[in-house]
Amino acid sequence: MLPIFEVDSFYEEVSQEIKEMYNYLNMCRTNRLNELAEQEQQQTRKLEERISLISVGFGIPLLIMGFLNINIVGVTTQNEGMSFLSAFLVTFCGGALLSFGVLYLLRKNNNK
């Protein structure tokens, strides 16, 4: 059995060890939460890039088609208008060029 005068020092020693363990576990938990937050930010950025790619990739060609009011022979009209191939080349190839330009500017803006 410990003498009375050693109980206080033993209590302080154990108390200090428990505080150190708590601080270590708290630090580990904080580091893990920071890692998870960083991973979530990276996933959010990737998702934003995919959504902007899809929206620009489809949106700009469809805007061109609507702006030019393209009629496709056999689809929207019977006799007059552009063939499907010409409409495709005008809207989607022209739109692709504009889309790449817009995406380039978006990525350049995101990197700042």
pLDDT, tens digit, 9 for 90 and up, residues 92-111: 777 778 878 877 887 787 66
Q: What gap in Å lies between CA 104 and CA 70, rounded to an integer?
A: 27
**pLDDT tens, 41-60?**
999 988 988 887 788 777 77
pLDDT of residue 5: 65
Residue predicted with more confidence, 69 or 45:
45
Pull the structure tokens for residue 74: 């056999």
Contact 54, 85 (CB under 8 A): no
Q: Containing domain of residue 22, as a range?
A: 4-111
Residue predicted with more confidence, 52 or 2:
52
Hey, is 104 helix, strand or coil? helix
Number of compact structural domains in the chain: 1
